[in-house]
Amino acid sequence: MLGAYEGKDLRYVGKVGTGFSRSTLASLFRAFRPLIRQTLPVVNPPREKNVTCLEPKLVAQIAYGEWTADGKLRQPVFLGLRDDKKPSEVVIPKRQP
């Protein structure tokens, strides 16, 4: 599941399920374990069951087709984690009129 900031609010912007190799999944599992929390950190949680929530401390680089009208990413693909950006720098772009 992915999130991006809109002001001070972290918003759910979709989920990504492609772009992962076995070694990437193993590495992510190790990185995710210490970040597990009990509640979703987003203000607009999805209606998903059995979700493992993480502290918003990591930044993923995601390729996508476009933003949908309801503010979600279309066709997201995981490209990797970034250590050159802070989570607070991941913001939802302003919509054009």
Span 36-93, pLDDT tens digits? 999 999 999 898 888 899 999 999 999 999 999 999 999 999 999 999 999 999 999 8
Within 10 angstroms of residue 14's Cβ, the number of other Cβ atoms is 20
State which fold the 2-89 domain adopts: OB fold (Dihydrolipoamide Acetyltransferase, E2P) (2.40.50)
pLDDT(11) > 90:
yes
Q: Supply the pLDDT for residue 97.
A: 53
Quick one: how far is CA 3 from the chain centroid? Answer: 4
Distance (Å, rounded) from C-alpha 11 to C-alpha 28? 21
More confident site: 95 or 68:
68
pTM of the model: 0.88
